Structure 1
Amino acid sequence: MNLPVFDDGAPLLRASGVTRYYGTRIGCTDVSFELWPGEVLAVVGESGSGKTTLLNCLSTRLVPTSGVVEYRMRDGAMRDLFQLNEAERRLLMRTDWGFVHQNPADGLRMTVSAGANVGERLMAVGARNYGAIRGEAESWLDKVEIDTGRIDDDPRGFSGGMRQRLQIARNLVTGPRLIFMDEPTGGLDVSVQARLLDLLRQLVGEFGLSAVVVTHDLAVARLLSHRMIVMRGGNVIETGLTDQVLDDPRAPYTQLLVSSILQV
């Protein structure tokens, strides 16, 4: 991917020494980076590398054992996410952030219609006009390549790829600035993965989104991200521009990943 043009030289998200233990077991340790507006960061590694723990700490789903995660609010101020009160964090999650789960059932309400899944997030930020909400939901179904004639169908009748696209629509309808993605193509067959990746890349570029993408698939990292972090055993092994890391890996572990000797 081409590097984005950053808006004013200030990061959107900053992690400083983020560490999380589960008792005596390391989840992730001493992770630091800055994420810029319009930038996509991939976090890659094998199962148990700590990438999902890191994602959950960044998105406030887990409280770090130590370290700081800061976010630049819309007023330009950098705030420590874990110093925000619960109402402030909930507001961020409804407006400025999205979270795309590997299993779309975790990010959708499976017993309400596709339109209601998208419309609920609009209602959470104050939308009340039924016609306008339905119109916006229909527009977003079209954007994510779901037949708008299925707006009243519930997701239980959708394929896995359609559910994932619906989850993406639900997340993007409120115009967030930052999206967290946890293995967004996991569990989908190859042709569905390719279509979904093309859609994600298009939407990220069109709306100037920043994103943190957790994946074990280096092809996903190459297609979606500008920079990447390679993790193993909770530690950062290598970091850099995605093409640089994948085309000329420095760390022996990254070389194994890239050469596919190590099965992730």
Structure 2
Amino acid sequence: MTIVQPNDLQNTPSTALQDLPLLEVRSISKFYGARRGCENVSFDLYPGEVLAIVGESGSGKSTLLNCISTRMLPTSGLVNYRMRDGSVQDVCHMQEADKRFLMRTDWGFVHQNSADGLRMTVSAGANVGERLMAVGHRHYGSIRSTATDWLEQVEISEDRIDDQPRDFSGGMRQRLQIARNLVTGPRLVFMDEPTGGLDVSVQARLLDLLRNLVSNLGLAAIVVTHDLAVARLLSHRMIVMKDGHVIEEGLTDRVLDDPQAPYTQLLISSILQV
């Protein structure tokens, strides 16, 4: 598997940095006028850790994800990110150019609707290659070779490299979006309902692929989902949200097997056990 890094970034953080939080979320709140999106949410995320944010529709989980990933400015609170050199920056108040650079290098974002994360009228190879070019790569042969490698890693045949995403199935589009995000070796990936809208068999295949990639690459990830089976399969820890508040949090297996909050108990009892 070829992961291409921009020239001025190291591929692997030092051992010392591995013991420090990669992301520190402090008292994040977002209000839409009088309506609460999320309120007073805090947590740490460590390198290589996967956190699931779960809850029913309207619980505030997507609002929280958008605030953390700088896609939306929170009403209050801080999101501190530890850069590769060990410095910590409040990403909510970064300059726009710095945010864009972060999203092209250290971060990835997998959308529920793959069309939001892909350019639908250019080829699959160009979708992957575009992110490489954004971090300074210009050699056509090298870009195409790396794109081919990544398409194979996400189970897209090499002979589809010149096809456009609009000719792909929903599952193939999601796998292409994953390749586009991971090709530059990010340390943190945000996923918003990554299996939403897919058939059950396609979901299972995509989840297996995601779990293997996240584990093999040592990625940290924040996954928003209403599907507790997705949370169990992918995450180490989970946060349960309701009406914009965190109701319960802890190790995924503990929360799912021994929920403490009445709302979490109700949420788990309303679905088939995984």
CA displacement 1:117-167 (0-9 Å, x = unmatched): 000000000000000000000000000000111000001110000000000
Residue number among 139, 144, 168 corresponding to 1:129 in the alignment: 139
Letter in 2 for 1:253: Y
CA displacement 1:30-86 (0-9 Å, x = unmatched): 000000000000000000000000000000011110110000011101111123211
Distance 2:93 2:198 in 1: 38
Indicate conservation of the 8 Å contact 1:6/1:36, yes or no: no
CA displacement 1:91-115 (0-9 Å, x = unmatched): 0000000000000000000000000
Q: Which runs of 5+ in 1 are unaligned?
A: none
Superposed, 1:66-215 pairs within 5 Å as 66-215=76-225
Which residue matches 1:36? 46
Which residue matches 1:229? 239
Distance 1:216 1:104 in 2: 18
Q: Secondary structure at the match of 1:194?
A: helix
Q: Secondary structure at the match of 1:240?
A: strand
Q: Secondary structure at the match of 1:60?
A: coil
Q: Secondary structure at the match of 1:98?
A: strand
Q: Secondary structure at the match of 1:254?
A: helix
Q: Secondary structure at the match of 1:88?
A: helix
Residue number among 17, 21, 39 corresponding to 2:27 in the alignment: 17
Q: Secondary structure at the match of 2:249?
A: strand
Q: Give the aligned CA root-mean-square deviation in angstroms.
A: 1.3
Letter in 2 for 1:110: M
Indicate conservation of the 8 Å contact 1:55/1:180, yes or no: yes
Indicate conservation of the 8 Å contact 2:52/2:237, yes or no: yes
Distance 1:95 1:128 in 2: 16
CA shift for structure 1 position 189: 0.4
Residue number among 226, 247, 251 corresponding to 1:241 in the alignment: 251
Q: Which runs of 5+ in 2 are unaligned?
A: 1-14
Residue number among 46, 56, 72 corresponding to 1:46 in the alignment: 56
Indicate conservation of the 8 Å contact 1:13/1:71, yes or no: yes
Distance 1:259 1:220 in 2: 16
Distance 2:68 2:141 in 1: 36
Letter in 1 for 2:189: I
Distance 1:215 1:166 in 2: 20
CA shift for structure 1 position 7: 5.6
Which residue matches 2:7? none
CA displacement 1:237-262 (0-9 Å, x = unmatched): 00000000000000000001111169
Kindly report structure 1 stretches of 4+ aligned residues shifted beyond 6 Å: none
